[in-house]
Amino acid sequence: MSELTTVARPYAKAAFDFAVEHKAVAQWQDMLMFAGEVARNDDMHQLMTGAVAAETLADIFIKVCGEQLDEHGQNLIKVLAENKRLVALPQISALFDELKAEYDKEIEVNVTSAVELTASQQTELSASLEKRLARKVKLNCNVDPALVAGFVIKAGDTVIDGSVKSKLNRLADALQA
- Per-residue pLDDT of 70-109, as tens digits, reads 888 888 888 888 888 888 889 999 998 888 887 878 788 8
Residue 2 has pLDDT above 70, yes or no: no
Q: What percentage of the chain reaches a pLDDT higher than 70?
A: 99
State the pLDDT at residue 71.
87
Residue 1 has pLDDT above 60, yes or no: no
Are the beta carbons of 62 and 74 closer than 8 angstroms? yes
Q: How confident is the model at residue 42 (pLDDT cuts 50, 70, 90)?
A: confident
Nearest to 55 by CA among 95, 86, 22, 98: 86
pTM: 0.63
Q: What is the mean pLDDT of residues 41-58?
A: 79
Q: How far is CA 9 from the centre of its chain?
A: 13
Residue 124: CB atoms within 10 A of its CB come to 12
> pLDDT tens digit string along 157-171?
778 887 788 888 888
* SS3 of residue 134 by DSSP: coil
- Domains of the chain plus CATH, in order, are 2-102 (1.10.520.20), 105-176 (3.40.30)
